[in-house]
Amino acid sequence: MKALLTALQEVYGLFVEDGSLAVAILLWIGFAALLFPHLPEGAAAWRAPVFFAGVVLLLLENVWRSARQKR
Partner 1 sequence: MDVGNWSHVGPSVLASFLASLVEFVEALTIVLAVGSVRGWRPALIGTFAGVGFLALLVIAFGPALQLIPLNVLQLVVGVLLLLFGIRWLRKAILRAGGVLGMHDEEAIYVRETAALQQEQAQQPERMDWIAVATTFKAVVLEGLEVVFIVIATGALGHNLLPAALGAAAAGVVVISLGLALHRPLARVPENTLKYAVGILLSSFGVFWIGEGLRFTWPGEDLSLLGLAGIFLLASLGAVALIRRATTPDAKALPVSRQGETS
> Any idea what the Cα angle at residue 35 is, between residues 29 and 36, rounded to 5°?
80
Nearer to partner 1, 1 or 59 (CB): 59
Give how far Cα 54 sits from Cα of 35, 44, 45, Å. 14, 16, 15
- Residue type for 10, please? E
Nearer to partner 1, 2 or 17 (CB): 17
Q: With beta carbons less than 8 A apart as the criterion, state whether 14 and 29 touch.
A: no
Nearer to partner 1, 2 or 70 (CB): 70
Taking the complex as a whole, the smallest distance from the CB of residue 9 to partner 1 amounts, in Å, to 11
Query: Which residues contribute to the site for partner 1 (CB under 8 A)?
Result: 10-11, 14-18, 21-22, 25-26, 29, 32-33, 36-37, 44-45, 47-49, 51-52, 55-56, 59-60, 62-64, 66-68, 70-71
